[in-house]
Structure 1
Amino acid sequence: MNYLRITFAVALTACLGGTAGEALSAPTLLRGGKVLVGDGSVVANADVLIEGDRFAFVGAHEQKDAPADAIVVDVAGKTIIPGLIAAHAHIGQVDGLENGSPNYTRTNILRQLRQYEAYGVTTLGSLGLNAPLFYELRDKLHAGELPGADVYGADRGIGVVDGAPPAGAVKVGEEQLDRPATPEAARAAVRASKERGADLIKIWVDDFRGSLPVKMSPEIYAAVIDEAHAQGLRVASHVYYLEDAKRLAKLNVDVLAHAVRDQPLDAELIKLLNDNGIIYIPTIGVDESAYIYADRPDWMSSDFFQHALQPALREQFDSDGWREGILANRKLADSRKAVVMNQQNALALHRAGVRLGFGSDSGANPLRIPGFAEHRELQLLCEAGMTPLEALQTATVNAAAALGLDDRGAIAAGKLADFVILDADPTDDVQNFQSIESVWHRGKKVSGAVEQFQP
């Protein structure tokens, strides 16, 4: 075979005329690596052929001839995984330690999307709180005209008058959130979202652990789900309580975008989720982020973590006063219990065959750190009892399904060539998901090791 053979390191450098973000001029064949497909299967000593922005072939080494002009990249000893998909995230909410509508700017959003991408997250779903700017950026990202993770979104999202999301914590403008007071107004909000181009609808149903005076009424969320389905839109719901989850499942909500954490799941909900094909996203890190940085685990000193921090956040984490204030909060005990309950429920659902999606609610506040939060979520899923392959499936094939996407999430012929090359095998140790050698997005190398990234 008349391949142009080059080493892995040289293949990714400018001497080929292909700097980060530029497609190589010829088809590219990744040879000899271990491929974690994303659907739970593994191909050892694999050939991965990329033509343009798609995978053209994935299979055993020498199983299929590549084009004569293919550039062959030796990836022996490395592991290739699909680009991660964060099906529950937010953009434009946070900059440094500040949260609110002034941060919904082109510069800040693109900064966040580049960070997601550098950490191997190539697609995300921004579940609500999106301003009109979202559509301009989304369309350009879809077209490959802007750098960073691709993004889909739930438009403004539908909240509750005097309820969720809490106005004091989520400081958004009038064009970033709807709070309909009647079922008729809720239906109108869904139709308006459809007209603006929403990819799905987000609702906030619960009362944030009793911290808000009201929850969304069943009449309103029933109207939202019914109208959204009539408009061809999926619905993802913020949820906390078992009883709310069961009511939503009976109405055939498409995604439970958080976990049940008030009590163990029961057989009724498990059957509803399986029968209706509802995807359940645990977001274990949501509650853990309330206390973990004050606990100061050893991994906070790693380069992988430190390169995800903006300077103001790094300074906060280094403050003894901030740490003491967090640890003095008596509600932290509830957060720690919620993490344990979440993990137990997630594992029970996984063993019962319910499809788990993936997300961390990153970007919703400064403690949910884009990119890093997704890697921490993988670890938390494995700590719950899942294998690294099973955790990866939630973050690839299943997360794509949560967003209604079928063109990505797996290393397979015809799918978008979004993938991450790792120096070490995460099936040996979940920590190896962090051994990023390079990130490729739509067939282009877009970043190298995380240590080369500056937030």
Structure 2
Amino acid sequence: MLRSLVLKSVLAVMAPLAALAACVAPQQTDVLVVDASAIFDGRDVIRDARLVVREGRVEAVGPQSEIAAPAGAEILDYGDRFLMPGMIASHSHVGTVSGTEHGGRFYSRETVERDLAQFQRYGVVAVNALGLNRPLFHELRKELRGPGHDGADLFGAGAGVGAVDGAPPMDRMGVMPDQAMRPATPEEARAAVRETAEAGVDIIKIWVDPMGGQVPKMPEAIYAAAISEAHAQGLRAAAHIHDLEDAKGVIRAGVDIVGHGVRDAPVDQELIALMLEQDVWYVPTINIDEANYIYAEHPEWLEDPFFLAALSPELEAQLRDEAWRQRALDGAGSARMAVMNNLRNLQRLHAAGVKVALGTDSGATALRIPGFAEHRELELLVLAGMTPTEALAAATANGAALMGLSDRGQLAPGFVADFLVLEADPTVDIRATRSLAEVWRGGYRVDQ
């Protein structure tokens, strides 16, 4: 009974957010004009703003005083609301969680579509599923993007290239044999990348992480071969790392994206110079460690409809369990240290001019919650010294640039009209992204 009442309350409060999938009927005209108090276009904020959308793409954006409404256009006046591009998740996973469990055995069309729907409900319009995908991914990647499907667009790396007997660890992550290719030689690494590219991917993922000395680490010759072959196939390469020296190693080998923050030591000038010289992206994924304890630390979040709506019944029950919360807090020491190191390193790298995009590792485990994690990561980026506008750029224009999406992540002429309507201004308080009222995809409002 209690759960029924809670769910009714959540649904009432979350009605604008719970825009699941189906788009409302097309507008009466092919041209839509949206006025709002402000628009963040992916780079800058425009006040007293106007957005013109024609046939699903942005035709114009700017001050209302400078842009006339086209004749016959449908005009929506959002008053003091705020518009921003839909968010891009640069490092997430899909399809591998069921309740409080995770693993490749759960990967299916149903679970992938479930996760993409939840991402979209929380304003994420494109997801880079960075590894741990099963062969079904290559089919879904073709289907689950663009008009006609009910969720965030699916991009990603296929299975990814892991280490023999190493990361990603099969036991800890429940990894199935087809979720990571594990070449033993440089020649096998090149073959693995070619096979992955032929199957259809957007990026190549490699794991270079000894997991605190618990597993063998991929040798330099193998990851260098994988990165080189990715470039030969016209693909970018992203590396899962944890340690400073491994970050330097993959960058020297030519990697394009450092897919997690450095957490074992302070970053040094050598790393900064390498990243700037080679124009490498940095995706800190602070959530990956914070998720281990933050919900236990904040049981009051369970009274927040925005958070509660992201939880499965099983996960909600776990988070309400006092014994589970105590165990999580008791074992949080190393995760807290990793978060502090990650925040400090991000602050230094960002201040030096290293390119940053938002990613969270959401979807890899039950505690890394699709959608909610992205909003929490925005707060953490600001905590690390980024301005709210810079954090929003990391989640929009920068994410699209990292993924090579030339018509996403900005509200600019010619770009796909994916945008969010917020009740408050996140450039004043980054938590205002949680005031999500509407999600628009390709010029159409997503409805429940």
- The structure 2 residue matched to 1:144, chosen from 125, 128, 147, is 147
Q: Take 2:359 and 2:36, find their aligned partners in 1: how far apart are those partners?
A: 31
Matched, 1:53 2:24: no
- The structure 2 residue matched to 1:126, chosen from 129, 137, 156, is 129
Preserved CA contact (<8 Å) 1:440 1:447 = no
Give the TM-score of the pair, scaled to structure 2.
0.93
Q: Structure 2 vs 1, CA of residues 297 and 354 (structure 1 numbering), >3 Å: closer, same or farther? A: farther
SS across alignment from 2:396: helix
Match for 2:53: what amino acid?
A: I
Preserved CA contact (<8 Å) 2:91 2:259 = yes
Q: Take 1:269 and 1:218, find their aligned partners in 2: how far apart are those partners?
A: 17
Preserved CA contact (<8 Å) 1:23 1:52 = no
Q: Structure 2 vs 1, CA of residues 208 and 423 (structure 1 numbering), >3 Å: closer, same or farther? A: same
SS across alignment from 1:237: strand
Q: Take 2:130 and 2:60, find their aligned partners in 1: how far apart are those partners?
A: 33
SS across alignment from 2:47: strand
Deviations 1:15-73 (A, max 9, x none): xxxx744432411100133001111x111011101112211110110423332111000
Q: Take 2:28 and 2:211, find their aligned partners in 1: how far apart are those partners?
A: 52
| Equivalences, count | 428
Q: Take 1:441 and 1:208, find their aligned partners in 2: how far apart are those partners?
A: 39
SS across alignment from 1:240: coil
Q: What is the aligned partner in structure 2 of residue 172 from structure 1?
A: 175
414-423 or 173-182: which moved more? 173-182
Q: What is the aligned partner in structure 2 of residue 102 from structure 1?
A: 105
Q: What is the aligned partner in structure 2 of residue 263 from structure 1?
A: 265
Q: Following TM superposition, by how much is the alpha carbon of 1:84 offset from its aligned partner in structure 2, in angstroms?
A: 0.6
Match for 1:271: what amino acid?
A: A
Alignment of 1:311-330 (within 5 A): 311-329=313-331
71-80 or 289-298: which moved more? 289-298
Give the TM-score of the pair, scaled to structure 1.
0.91
Match for 2:38: what amino acid?
A: K
Q: Take 1:124 and 1:308, find their aligned partners in 2: how far apart are those partners?
A: 17
Q: What is the aligned partner in structure 2 of residue 135 from structure 1?
A: 138
Q: What is the aligned partner in structure 2 of residue 3 from structure 1?
A: none
4+ residue runs over 4 A deviation: none
Q: What is the aligned partner in structure 1 of residue 337 from structure 2?
A: 337
Identity %: 46
**Structure 1 spans left out of the alignment, 5+ residues:** 1-11, 14-18, 449-455
Q: Take 2:340 and 2:226, find their aligned partners in 1: how far apart are those partners?
A: 32
- The structure 2 residue matched to 1:28, chosen from 29, 32, 48, is 32
Matched, 1:115 2:118: yes
**Structure 2 spans left out of the alignment, 5+ residues:** 1-14, 17-21
Match for 1:103: what amino acid?
A: F
Alignment of 1:27-426 (within 5 A): 27-39=31-43, 41-210=44-213, 212-329=214-331, 332-426=332-426
SS across alignment from 1:351: helix
Preserved CA contact (<8 Å) 2:193 2:226 = yes
Q: Take 1:158 and 1:130, find their aligned partners in 2: how far apart are those partners?
A: 11
SS across alignment from 1:169: helix
Q: Take 2:338 and 2:246, find their aligned partners in 1: how far apart are those partners?
A: 16
SS across alignment from 2:168: coil
Deviations 1:209-239 (A, max 9, x none): 23x2211110110000111111111000001
172-181 or 231-240: which moved more? 172-181
Preserved CA contact (<8 Å) 1:88 1:360 = yes
